[in-house]
Amino acid sequence: MSEKEYVVTLNKGVDYAQFNQEMIASTGSGDIPNRTVDVADARALSTRNTHYALTDAEAESLRNDSRVTDVQLRPQDRNDIEIGYEAVQTANFNKSSSDSGDYRDWGKITHSFKENKYGTSTSLPTNPYSRPFSMDGTGVDIVIQDSGLQVDHPEFKDANGISRVQLIDWFAESGVTGSQSVNHYRDYDGHGTHCGGTATGLNFGWASNARVYSVKVNGLNGSGDSGTGISVNSCFDVIKGWHQNKPVDPKTGYKRPTIVNASWGYSGSIGSSFSNITSYVYRGSNYNSGTSGWNSTTAYHRDTYGFYPYYRSFNYRYPVRVADVDADVQDCIDAGVHICIAAGNNSFKIADPTDPDYDNVIFWTSSNNYYHRGSSPFDTGAIIVGCTDSTPQNATTERKTSFSSTGPGVNIFAAGENIVSACSTTTRFGNTQYFGDSNFKQTNISGTSMASPQVCGVGALYLQADPSLTPAQLQNKLQKDALAVLKDESNDANYGDTTDICGGYNRMLYNRYSNAKPYSSNTYGLRKKDR
């Protein structure tokens, strides 16, 4: 009998202890194996996931148990999926601190300067990255769950030059069993440093005085970096445990808020060509080689079916849901942790269970996947962020990028094309010298990866004003205060059109032509003087 380590994910609310007792008993009933099952990993802080040593046949049978969401191999053991960033380099960054050219290129300044100083203005301040608001994330913890951080980058210092990066042993601080690499924090890729700079950079970011933490995810490794991150089966557990162990601040009566940015996701490959598609189901109708007009090379056509991996390395890939990762996200949120997640760059419509596209599925060779359910980590309780492009619009309208995922599963949009931020000196992205110190680097990158940390940073400003906010309340306030920016054509025949968000939430974090929000007076008043 050949056993493998499978993750059994239970439905929310199932009696975890009772199920586990049945699994480890000598006799089973129904779909439970009729033997003593070894626990490979108890996942003590998880309320829904346990790892068991199971045969393939036992795993398949167990999927039929009414209490079980799914039974899957650990993500790192699956050869059909891979973890990846929701970001791409669209052009080499060619601005430097000595550049005397025009800094009005919005992607180089808008998300950080956050004021309409271009288009009608011919001059900019000496520091192009100064901010016009006084709320700065004081009292809030921001966790960048990514490829690590260049911890000595000046963007992660405070106004007095003191580093805000907190170097902790995540396993020791959370109570989760495991060990942390000595290189856990080093960013060999550059993606994590860029996201961190966008969320909380001293000049580039929104929450410039928040404490900064990094959880490096194993698999998001740069060149020369192998296995130094925390596995996806623990990377949310350690954040949850650490947050739960925080003391209550006697001044506020609440724990320091924790807000996480996760600009990564899972995808699968259909192979080298869409001709590998053998059939698909679209809104309850089956299509295959016997269907009139069938053509495997157009089965994915976005104008009709909405399956269109749009951008570069994402060709021939589809979003993948990983049940145990999604459960971990929900566990974190239930514990009071706020989580922002990049929607993805495949131009997919992310449906919800009420949407007619939720059960759309494609088949090829021996695999199949529901292609409108979004990529993990994804869950209803997380803030899912799409992105807009750099094409000038007007004071009331912005345009989503051609690559951003959309649909009911996307909660809010933020700028995501050619966003400038910090970058590590060891990086796969093109870069140039940091404007403030030639020993460090900065770069521009595009993607929903760049939009999500903006929402994370602004979320930290709201949490500074009111640390009692629950994840649901924060999401509601961000959406309520956001600007209406995208035209929703409500036309499923226009997948990928830059003005069509396929039922997504029609709001953007801020508008480059309007400085009304999010940093002007609102419910909490992000300017202290306006409170």
CB contact at 8 A, 518 and 481: yes
Q: CA angle, corner 458, sides to 452 and 463, nearest 5?
A: 120
Q: Which residue has the higher pLDDT, 127 or 285?
A: 285
Q: Per residue in 295-322, pLDDT tens?
A: 555 444 444 555 554 443 445 677 888 9
Q: Which comes out higher in pLDDT, residue 37 or 530?
A: 37
pLDDT 10s digits, 226-239: 778 999 999 999 99
The top-scoring range by mean pLDDT among 104-113, 335-344, 430-439, 444-453 is: 335-344
Residue 192, CA atoms < 13 Å, CB-side half-sphere: 31
d(CA 36, CA 54): 10
Return the top range by mean pLDDT from 90-99, 115-124, 498-507. 498-507
**Residues 31-82 pLDDT 10s:** 899 899 999 999 989 999 999 999 999 999 999 999 999 999 999 899 888 8
374 pLDDT higher than 80 = yes
Q: H-type helices in 366-438, by residue range?
A: none
Looking at residue 345, its pLDDT comes to 84
pLDDT at 177 over 90: yes
Residue 512 is predicted with a pLDDT of: 58
Measuring CA to CA, how many Å separate 465 from each of 54, 134, 229, 282, 471?
A: 49, 12, 33, 46, 14
* Whether residue 193 has pLDDT greater than 60: yes
Res 486: pLDDT: 66
Task: Note the pLDDT of residue 191.
Answer: 94
Q: Which two three-digit tokens encode residue 316? A: 């021939």
Q: What is the CA radius of gyration of the chain?
A: 23
Location of structure tokens 């902790």: 168
Q: Which two tokens stand for residue 162?
A: 């003191």
Compare 140 and 481 and report the one with higher pLDDT: 140
pLDDT for position 20:
93
- The pLDDT of residue 274 is 62
Chain-wide mean pLDDT for the chain? 79
Task: Please report, rounded to a whole number, the percentage of residues in the chain having pLDDT higher than 90.
Answer: 43
Identify the structural domains of the chain with CATH numbers, from first to last.
Answer: 4-73 (3.30.70.80), 85-94+128-270+297-530 (3.40.50.200)
CB 388 within 8 A of CB 417: yes
What's the pLDDT band for 484 if we cut at 50, 70, 90?
low
Instruction: Identify which of 103, 99, 100 has the alpha carbon closest to the alpha carbon of residue 122.
Output: 103
Residues of the chain above pLDDT 70, percent? 76
Q: What's the rounded mean pLDDT across residues 287-296?
A: 61
SS3 81: strand
Residue 325: the pLDDT is: 94
401-454 confidence digits (pLDDT tens)? 878 888 888 999 988 887 888 999 888 877 788 877 889 998 888 899 999 999
Mean pLDDT for 363-369 is: 69
Whole-angstrom distance, CA of residue 365 vs CA of residue 484: 43
